[in-house]
Amino acid sequence: MRTPSKRATVNKVGRPPAGNDGERVKDYPQVSFRLPKESRDKLVALSQVRKQPQWRLIVDSVECYLRDLPRREQTEIARLLTKRSRES
């Protein structure tokens, strides 16, 4: 009698990567800053309503802020980021 073949399934342990392009959030550099209580409460509420982690809301907020800057400031920031990436 033949026994049914078992499929070799590999289930990864832990949570799947949740960062940009499948990166592990654990590998992101950490940042610590203080917020006024009202701002912290808004961030927590926004995170719950949007069902998004707080770090992603902050990343999106920075991108929106940069997009609304005058062209001159956007150019200066791009220059600083290019300079910084060459140094590392």
Task: Domain ranges for the chain, please list them.
Answer: 35-87
Number of H helices, E strands in the chain: 3, 0
Residue 6 in 3-state DSSP?
A: coil
Instruction: Read off the amino acid at residue 4.
Output: P
Greatest distance between any 2 Cα atoms in the chain: 78
Q: How confident is the model at residue 17 (pLDDT cuts 50, 70, 90)?
A: low
Q: Are 68 and 77 in contact (CB under 8 A)?
A: no
Q: Considering the entire predicted model, what is its pTM?
A: 0.69
- Please write the tens of the pLDDT for every residue from 60-87: 999 999 999 999 999 999 999 998 888 8
Q: Kindly give, in sequence order, each residue whose CB lies less than 8 Å from that of residue 27, ignoring residues fewer than 6 positions away.
A: 19
The H or E element that residue 76 is part of is: helix 71-87
Q: List, for residues 24-35, the tens digit of each pLDDT value.
A: 777 888 999 999
What whole-number percentage of the chain has pLDDT above 70? 81
Tell me the average pLDDT across 25-49: 93
